[in-house]
Structures are given as C-alpha cells and as structure tokens.
Chains A and B, each alone.
Chain A
C-alpha cells in the first residue's frame, strides 16, 4: 500500500485570480508583508501497490492525463508508506 500526495499548481506566469483575491484579503487583515499568493490543489491517492516504481509510473500518468492540465498547471508528488516513514520527492513537476 502506498499513498501518493500530489500537489497541482498553476505554472509560473499563469494568472491566478484566486491567489490575487486571497492576497487582497490578507493585506486587508493587516499582513502588509505578503507579496504573492498562489492557490493550488492537494490530492491524496491511495494505491494498492507496493512497487514504488510502478506506483510512480501510474501517478505520473494520472497527473498528465487528468489531475493536472499541462497547458496551465504543473504537478509534483511524494510517495509514502501508509505509516509515512519514508518520503520520496518526484524528480520533476
């Protein structure tokens, strides 16, 4: 069993209206030091797989085909044992 923790974010340079609005809110609250906010998505995908290489291959494919839109988004993920003992960052996003 493996747990993929996937982060999908807008590519740099792609306008993020949500992030802009959140930044406006933070500034209105008095956090004047905030200079940028980007909003992304976080997904947890449980896999009934023990082979990390195969799990990585499948998660890559899921990200490319559905979870991220490569036109405007990038992704990165970690694969963890359910206990969360080891963490492995994907090489690319």
Chain B
C-alpha cells in the first residue's frame, strides 16, 4: 500500500506522518509537493497538520487552491482514501470534501494537550482496529478546531454515522467539560458519506510509539493498512 503525504508551505506534521507510515508501519510513503499536479499511483493521501500558507484569511482557505488540490479532489471523489489531520481537516472543509467549517476555539486559546476521544463508528477504513465506543487518547494542537455545521448538516452527519470521534471524559462520557474547543456535538472527526475521506483535529501521528506517551494513533494508521491488505474496497 502506497501513501502520499502532501506538503504545503507551512505544513509542520508532514515528517511525523511520514515517519509513522514508513518507519513504524513499514509502508512505502512519499512526500508530494503542493506544486505537483499528479497523485497517480497512491492508495492513500494524507494532508498533514501545520499552518499552510500561514493560515492567512482562514485556516486551509488558500491551501485549498494549491496546484495539487484538483488532483486530490479527483482522487477523493473517485473513492481514494484521504486522511486530513488538523490543518489537513481544515483544508478538506475549505475544499468542500467534508461538510461544515471551523471557527476559532471558543476559549480563544491555542490548545495543545492530550484529549480523550470516543470512537463513534469503527466500520470505516480508518477506525476498524478500534472497538465501537472505545475511548482512545490522542493529542490536539490547534487554535481553530471549533467545528461548526448547521442543524440540517449535523442531523445528516448523525443519521449517516459520519461522526467518527467525539471529545469525551476518560470514562467515555461526552460532556461540555471534555470539549477543548467548543465544537458542535463535541465533534473531533468526521467522515464523508461514502466513507473514504476522514478529517480529524487530533494528531494520531503524535502518539504512534510508546516513547511518545501513547500508541492509540498507531492503530488508526494500522487500520488503513489492514483494511487495504484485506482487499476491502469501498462500494465493492
């Protein structure tokens, strides 16, 4: 399985993702420069965290028009696996590949901390190694993670089980106090209706080795590899 990690000017988690996929999971992985226009030959694309184009105007707004994005959008629309982490999630929202938008954290602070997440749906290429309802621990680091969707969109996300992760207390209870940014419904990650595009604010690449204090993030990347190696394909 071949991964591509897209590097925008201002990406800063690209090397962490590359390390996890290549050194920790032993998968072939390449960097793809934002100025490239071709993503042929890749099985999964990762849009990493960072501050693409300085987050000017709105986080992800300018990256969404990078030369590589038409190819990423084509890849995603034709069912290719796409994972957007933090700034990558913001870019996917701006590109319209996922519904909703990000607002500034309600606390106005940049939040860099461990969070507990409840896995709301494990029947996806990205979460199949978790149990449904499992509480996992993955860190966040963002100032604009306050996810917003209008009531109709939110109802649709709920009905189609597209909410994948919610911020929760260590015991799994979804409470306002466990929400670090004010996101609607404590949402930390969502998937598109077809199930091939996941966006999440927490950083799984930062907790994929015990040396870094946790390995729950590794299971997310390993889920993708397992899913692919079992020969599962969406819509098949």
Given A66-B57, A72-B101, residue A15 in contact with residue B106 (CB < 8 A): yes
Given A17-B106, A17-B107, residue A67 in contact with residue B101 (CB < 8 A): no
Q: Is B114 an interface residue (CB 8 A)?
A: no
Check if A21 sits within 8 Å of B106, measured CB to CB.
Answer: no
State how many angstroms separate the Cβ of A36 from the closest Cβ of chain B.
16
Can you name the residue of chain A whose Cβ is closest to the Cβ of B149? A71
Give A9-37 as 1s and 0s: 1 = Cβ < 8 Å from B's Cβ atoms.
Answer: 00000111110010000000000000000
Check if A72 sits within 8 Å of B103, measured CB to CB.
Answer: yes
- Interface of chain A residues 18 through 68 with chain B (CB within 8 A): 18, 21, 41, 66-67
State how many angstroms separate the Cβ of B8 from the closest Cβ of chain A.
16
List the B side residues contacting A90 at CB < 8 Å: none
- Distance in angstroms between the alpha carbons of A17 and B150 in the assembled complex: 18
Can you name the residue of chain A whose Cβ is closest to the Cβ of B105? A17
- Distance in angstroms between the alpha carbons of A17 and B62 in the assembled complex: 23
List the B side residues contacting A71 at CB < 8 Å: 93, 99-101, 148-150
Can you name the residue of chain A whose Cβ is closest to the Cβ of B153? A71
Check if B106 sits within 8 Å of A69, measured CB to CB.
Answer: no
- Interface of chain B residues 96 through 113 with chain A (CB within 8 A): 99-101, 103-108
A-B contact pairs, 22 of them (CB 8 A): A15-B146, A15-B182, A16-B103, A17-B103, A17-B105, A17-B106, A17-B108, A17-B146, A17-B182, A18-B108, A66-B57, A66-B65, A67-B57, A69-B58, A69-B61, A69-B94, A69-B101, A71-B101, A71-B148, A71-B150, A72-B103, A72-B148
17 other contacts beyond A15-B103, A71-B149, A72-B148, with CB at 8 A cut-off?
A14-B148, A16-B103, A17-B104, A17-B105, A17-B146, A17-B182, A18-B104, A21-B108, A41-B57, A66-B57, A69-B61, A69-B101, A71-B99, A71-B100, A71-B101, A72-B101, A72-B103
